[in-house]
Structure 1
Amino acid sequence: MKYVIGIDLGTSAVKILLVNKNGDVVQEVSKEFDLIQERTGYSEQDPHRWVDQTVAGLSDLLKDFDGNKEDIEGISFSGQMHGLVLLDENKDVLRNAILWNDTRTTEQCKQIYHAVGEERLLKITKNPALEGFTLPKILWVKAHEPDLYAQAKTFVLPKDYLRYKLTGELHMEYSDAAGTLVLNVSEKQWSQEICDLVGIDRALCPPLVDSHEVVGKVTSEIAQATGLATSTRVFAGGADNACGAIGSGILEDGKTLCSIGTSGVVLSYESSNDKDFQGKVHYFNHGAPNAYYTMGVTLAAGYSLSWFKDVFAKGESFEDLMTDVGFVPVGSNGLLFTPYVVGERTPHADASIRASFIGMDSSHERKDFVRAVMEGITFSLNEAIAIFRKHGKTIDTIVSTGGGTKNEDWLQMQADIFDAKIVKLASEQGPGMGAAMLAAYGCGWFDSLRDCADAFLKVEKEFLPKRDNVEKYKKLFAIYQEVYGQTKEMNERLVEYRK
C-alpha cells in the first residue's frame, strides 16, 4: 500500500495524518505549542517550535509504521495564514513570527490605504487592509524594529518556513501568498506597484509555486531524525482555508463550505478571477489549480454558543443544552440573536459592535434562547452567502463541518436558512486531509483533485431545505439584517463602559 502525509500547521498544534491510497487515515499524531502574548493585541510564536514539534510528530508516526518507509511517497502542508516569518541572508529567523490574530497593526493598515488607495488595493489584491494580513506586519517591523528589518532578506509564511526546514528549499504558494496583501491575485504575481508605494523591496518576496507542485525531497538530516526515506517528495501545500476546502470537496462551481468552529467560515469555489465583491468578502487563490475562492467570516460562531453555555448552563454538555431545540418553532417564538459577542467581520468589519437579544418576553424559556443563538449564528453566516448570490454565484450544495454538524436540528436549520442542500461528510479531517490530497494528486495517484475527492470523501447524510421554513427564514433574515444598523451607534457609545 502507498501512503502520503498531510501536515496541518495550526495556531495551537501541528496535526499530522498518514493517509493510504484509499483515503483512509491510518495514523494521526498531534503536537502542541504555545502562543507568546507579551502585550495586549500581540500574538507570536517561535518558528523553531513548529519545526521541533513537527519532527517529533513525524518521528512518532514512523515509530508505529509497520510498512516500508519508501511507500510513503509524498508530504504536503496546510498552514495558518498571514503570519510573518522574517529571514536574514542565511535564511535564519530574525524574530518570533507575528501571527494572523495579532492586532497591533491598525496604523499600518491606514498607511497602506493612504499609500495605495482603497480602490486600487482591492483591484490588485481583492482584499481590504486588515490587521491580520502580512503586509501590515512587515511595515510594523520596519517602523518599530528598523535595525532588525534592515537584516531581512526575505519573508515567508508559517508552513513555508516549516517546509524549508524539511527540504532546504524556500518558496511560497499562491493560496497563502493571496493573504499577504502583496500578491496580484488575478495575475498570480507579486505586485511591484504595491511594494513601491509602501516602500518595501520586491526582493523580499520569495519565489511562487502551485500548491500541488513538488518543491524538493526531505533532507538526509530530516530523514535520519524522523525515519522518513530520502526519496519522499515534498509538495508546496496550501493555506488552511484552501486546504480545508480541498479536504471537504469544494472543487467546482456551486460547491460551498460552511465551517462552524470558534469562528465561522463560509467559503465558496470560484472558477474565475473577475468578480468584484468590493472587499466585503475575502477573495483568494485556491489550492486547486487555476481556481479561486471567496470567503466570509463570522468572528463568534461556535463561540457564541459556548459563551451562552458557560454563562447559563455551566457544567452541562452541548448535547444536553440543545436537546429541546427541535421542539422550538422557526423564529424561536419571536426571539432574535445577533452573534456579535466579540465584534463582527462579514459583512461588517466592526470591532465595537456587540451582540443583542431582540424580542425577549416572559414567555421565553431557555430552549428558545438556545435556538435563537443557533439561528443568529446561521444568519450571520448567511450574510456571506447573500453577498455571493448577489454577485451572481449559484450556491446549491454546502458541505457543513465543525460544531455545526453535531446536531441534526442545526443541520436542517442551515439547509432552511441557506436554502441549499447541506452535506455532512462521514469523516472530517479538514485541512490535514486537504494537504494529504494535494500530495496524492502531486504523486500522480489521480488525474485531478476532484477525482481524489471522489475517492477519498464519503457523504454520511444530506439535508434538503423545507420550503415553508425557507420562506419564514427569509422574512426573519431581513429583520436580522436591520439590527446591526439600529444598534451600531449605541454600541459605540457603550465602549467606554466596557471592562
Structure 2
Amino acid sequence: MKENYVIGIDFGTDSVRALVVNANTGEQAGTAVAEYTRWKQGKYCDASVSQFRQHPLDYLEGLESAVSRALEQSPEHVRENIKGISVDTTGSTPVAVDRNGTPLSLLPEFAENPNGMFILWKDHTANAEAEEINKLAHGWSVDYTKYVGGIYSSEWFWAKILRTLRIDAAVREHAYSWVEHCDWISAELTGVTDPLTLKRSRCAAGHKALWHQDFEGLPSNAFFTELDPLLDGLRDRLFADTTTSDRPMGTISQAWADKLGIPTDVIIGVGAFDAHMGAVGALIEPYSLCKVIGTSTCDMLVAPNGEVGHLLIKGICGQVDGSIVPGMLGMEAGQSAFGDIYAWFARLVVEPVRTLLGEEAAQELSKKLLPHLAAQASQLPVTEKDIIAVDWLNGRRTPDAKHTLKGAILGLNLASDPARIFKALVEATAYGSKSIVERFRNEGVPIHQVIAIGGVAKKSSFVMQTLADVLNMPIKVAASEQACALGAAMFAAVAAGVYETLPEAQEAMSSGFDAVYQPRPEQSAVYQTLYQKYLQSGAFLENEFLQKAAAVPANSYSDTF
C-alpha cells in the first residue's frame, strides 16, 4: 500500500506544534514545537488591562520552524508523500488586514502597533463593546445572539473589532477587512489571502462572529450601523458563506512548498479552532463531552441535528451545524481560566523567592512547586468545611459569559496552608466544569461520557481525579500528547482526498485512550455539598458585582469592583 502522510499544525497560546502522521495507520512520523519568540518576551501585552496580542511573525516563524524540524525527524521518503496540511488555532483571534489580506502589523508603519496584531482569545479589553452588542441584539427584531447562548462575549470577533476601530484611528483608516487566525494562516499557506475570496471557517464564523444560515450569513448592516456607524459597510468586506474543515482551502504556494521542502500539490484544508479539531482527534462522538484542558478549557459536544437542533441552549459559546463534525450540531462551552489559575498561584508563591534569592532559586522552585502541592493536596481529606474558591480569576466564559467577574477564595483561617489553598483552587476549576455539564443537562442535552485532552489532562492525576469526583462521572484521557494536531491531521487527510469522510479518518488514525479516572463515591458525595456552596458563593459575588456596576455611570464603564 502506498503511504500517504499529512501534517497537522496546532497553534496554541504559547507555541505552535507540528505533527507528521501516516494517514493510513495514524503512526507518528515526526513532531516539533516552536515557541512564539515575541510572546515569550511579553511583548505587546498588558495583563493589568487584559490586553493580549500576538505578532503574525511569531506565527509565520513558528510554523516554518516546527514543520521543518518535524519533517527532519521523519524518514526521507515522507516529504515526497505529504498529501495535505490542516491548521487549528486559538480563537476568537482576529486581525485587521489590508485589501490584500496582509495583517497590518506586517506593514512597516504598524510593525509595533498592538492594534494591528492578532487579538488573542483571552484579550478582554472589549468588555464594554460586548455589553453593547448584547443590549442591542436583545432588543432587535432578530436576536442575533440566540445561537451563541444568548450572550455575546468580549473574547469574540465583533467586540474586538469595534473596540479597535474606536481607539485607533490609523487602524480604522487602513483596515479593509478582518480575518480569524485559523482562516488567515491557512490562506497564507496557499498564497491567496484576498479577504473577499478566501474560504472562512464554519467553526470560527458560527461560534464567534454571529454567522448562521438563518441570518443568510452575518447580521444585517443595519444592525451593525446602529451599534456604531464605524461598522457601516464592513459586513460587505467580510463574508456571507462559510466552509466546514473537511474541505480544501486550496493548494500550497510555491513559496511555502520551497520553505518546507514538500511537493507543490499538497492540499491545504480549511482551518478551525484548536478545541474543535482536538475533539475530533480524541474521537468525539454524540453526547460525549470532550474537555480540552490547558490554560483555559474548551468543552466540545456533538449531537445529531434532528435530535437537538431545535433547542436554543442558553449561556454557551454557540451551536453550529458542522463546526466540529460535518453533518452534526457542534456545541461549545468552556472556562476562561483553568491551568492559568494554578499558574497564578505558583507565581504568587515563587515571586518573593525570585526577589529575595534570585532567578536560579526561583526557577528551581517553579519546577517542583505544583507537583509538590498536588502530592500534598491529594493526601488531604475532603470535608464539608473545606475552603471554597470561585474560578472566575479571568472572568466567566460559560455558563452565561461575564468576563468582568472576579474570582475569590472563601473560608480561610490561620490553618490555611498552601496545599489546602491549592486544593481549593483545583476544586474550583472542577466546580466550574460541573456547572457547564449541569447547564447542558438542564437545557435538554444529555452527556453520556467525558473525554479529556490537553496538557493538564496528561500531566496531573490529582486534577483529573478531583474532576472525576466532582462530576461524579468517569473521564477518559486521550492517548495522544497532541490531540489537537492529530485532529488537524485527520481533517487534512479528508481535505486531501485520502478519506471520503471524517469518521473514516478517525477510525484509521486514532491513538485511543491511555487512562480512565473513576469517581470515588465517598468524595463525590461530599463534593455535591461543596458544589452547592460554590454556587452560593458565586451568586453572592455576582450580586455584589451587579450592585457596584449599577452604581457606576454608563459613560464610565468599569470592570472592577
* 1:51-70 superposed matches below 5 A: 51-65=60-74, 66-70=76-80
Q: CA deviation at 1:366?
A: 4.8
> Residue in 1 aligned with 2:145?
122
Q: Could you tell me which amino acid in structure 1 is paired with residue 313 of structure 2?
A: F
Alignment correspondent of 2:217: 190
User: How far 1:458 sits from its partner (Å)?
Assistant: 1.5
Q: Which residue of 2 aligns with 1:275?
A: 311
The superposition leaves residues 44-90 of structure 1 with CA deviations (integer Å, 9 ceiling, x where unpaired) of: 33334423432343333444441153311110110121222333333
Task: Report Cα offsets for 1:121-168 as digits up to 9, x if no partner.
Answer: 222555522222111233334444566545544432112212222113
- 2:536 aligned counterpart, secondary structure: helix
CA distance in 2, matches of 1:288, 1:320: 40
Aligned match for 1:373, one of 417, 425, 443: 425
Question: In the alignment, does 2:44 pair up with 1:37?
Answer: yes
Structure 1's 288 and 188: CA in aligned 2 closer, same or farther, altered over 3 A? farther
How far off its partner does 1:255 sit?
Answer: 0.7
Residues in 2 aligned to 1:212 and 1:198: alpha-carbon distance in whole angstroms: 31
Cα separation, 2, equivalents of 1:61 and 1:327: 41
Question: Which residue does the alignment assign to 2:237?
Answer: 204
Of stretches 170-179 and 145-154 in structure 1, the one that deviates more from structure 2 is 145-154
Instruction: Check the 8 A contact 2:148/2:316 in 1, yes or no.
Output: no
Structure 2: distance between partners of 1:178 and 1:454? 27
Alignment check: 8 A CA contact 2:154 2:403 kept = no
Match of 2:188 among 165, 168, 184: 165
Task: Give distance in 1, aligned partners of 2:16 and 2:397.
Answer: 26
The answer as to 2:209 corresponding to 1:181 is yes
User: Retained in 2: the 8 A contact 1:281–1:384?
Assistant: no
Structure 1 residues 94 and 302, CA gap change in structure 2 (3 angstroms): closer
Provide the secondary structure at the position in 1 that maps to 2:145: helix
Correspondence 1:296-335 to 2 at 5 A: 296-312=333-349, 315=365, 316-331=368-383, 334-335=386-387
- Residues in 2 aligned to 1:63 and 1:394: alpha-carbon distance in whole angstroms: 45
Q: Is the 8 A contact 1:122 1:278 kept in 2?
A: no
* Partner residue, 2:488: 435
1:122–1:279: 8 Å Cα contact kept in structure 2? Answer: no
CA distance in 2 between partners of 1:91 and 1:337 (Å): 45
Q: Show the 5 A alignment for 1:355-370.
A: 355-361=407-413, 366-370=418-422
Q: One-letter code of the match for 2:29? A: V
1:260 aligns with 2:260: no
Match of 1:421 in 2: 474
2:437 and 2:476 map into 1 onto residues whose CA distance is: 16
Q: Which runs of 5+ in 1 are unaligned?
A: none
Note closer, same or farther for the CA distance 1:339–1:101 as it changes in structure 2 (3 Å cut). Answer: closer
- Inter-CA distance 405–280: structure 2 relative to 1 (3 Å threshold): same
Q: Evaluate the alpha carbon distance shift between residue 264 and residue 165 of structure 1 in structure 2; reply closer, same or farther with a 3 A threshold.
A: closer
Measured in 2, the distance between the counterparts of 1:91 and 1:343 equals 32
Contact 1:400/1:424 (<8 A) preserved: yes
Query: Aligned-pair distance for 1:403?
Result: 1.3
Deviation for aligned residue 1:182: 3.5
- What is the CA-CA distance between 1:105 and the residue it aligns to? 2.6
On the 8 A contact 1:284/1:292 being kept in 2, the answer is yes
Asked if structure 2 preserves the Cα contact closer than 8 Å seen for 1:84 and 1:157, the reply is: yes
Contact persistence 1:237–1:287 (CA under 8 A): no
Partner-residue secondary structure (3-state), 2:493: helix
Alignment check: 8 A CA contact 1:440 1:446 kept: yes
Specify every segment of 5 or more residues in structure 2 that has no aligned partner in the other structure, as ranges.
Answer: 106-115, 193-197, 226-231, 354-364, 550-557
**8 Å CA contact 2:5, 2:21 repeated in 1:** yes
Match of 1:228 in 2: 262
Q: 1:384 to 1:5 in 2, by over 3 A?
A: same
Answering whether residue 391 of structure 2 is matched by residue 339 of structure 1, we say: yes
Greater percentage in helix = 2
- Post-superposition shift, 1:183? 0.6
Taking a change above 3 Å as real, the CA distance of residues 224 and 360 of structure 1, as seen in their structure-2 partners, is closer
Determine the structure 1 residue equivalent to 2:554.
none
2:299 partner amino acid:
V
Deviates more, 1:131-140 or 1:56-65: 56-65
The CA distance in 1 between the partners of 2:71 and 2:458, in whole Å, is: 32
Aligned residue identity for 1:406: K
> In structure 2, what residue type is equivalent to 1:168?
G
- Which deviates more from structure 2 when the two are superposed, residues 29-38 or residues 389-398? 29-38
1:172 partner SS? coil
Q: What SS is found at the alignment partner of 2:144?
A: helix
Matched residue type, 1:394: P
Q: Which amino acid aligns with 1:275?
A: L
C-alpha displacement at 1:325, in angstroms?
3.2
Aligned to 2:88: 78
Q: Distance between the aligned counterparts of 2:316 and 2:68, measured in 1?
A: 43
Correspondence for 2:130: 109
Which residue identity lines up with residue 461 of structure 1 in the other structure?
Answer: A
Deviation string, structure 1 residues 158-206 (Cα, Å, up to 9, x no partner): 122122221134221100112443411x548522x43331134332124
The amino acid across from 2:339 in the alignment is G
**Aligned-residue offset at 1:16:** 1.3
The correspondence for 1:400, drawn from 452, 457, 465, is 452
Where do 4+ consecutive residues of structure 1 move more than 6 Å?
491-496
Higher mean displacement: 137-146 or 376-385: 137-146
Distance 1:356 1:406 in 2: 26
Match 2:18 to one of 16, 19, 31: 16
What whole-Å deviation, never above 9, does each CA across 1:368-424 have from its counterpart, x for those lacking one? 433332222201111111101111222121112331443334333322221222102
Shifted more, 92-101 versus 171-180: the winner is 92-101
Q: Percent identity?
A: 21
Q: Count residues with an aligned counterpart.
A: 496
Does residue 478 (structure 1) correspond to residue 512 (structure 2)? The answer is: no
C-alpha spacing 1:441/1:406, structure 2 compared with 1 (3 Å): same
TM superposition score normalised by structure 1: 0.88
SS at match of 2:6: strand
* One-letter amino acid matched to 1:283: Q
AA aligned to 1:205 is: L
Relative to 1, partners in 2 of residues 1:318 and 1:145: Cα closer, same or farther, differing over 3 Å? Answer: closer
Matched residue SS, 2:104: coil
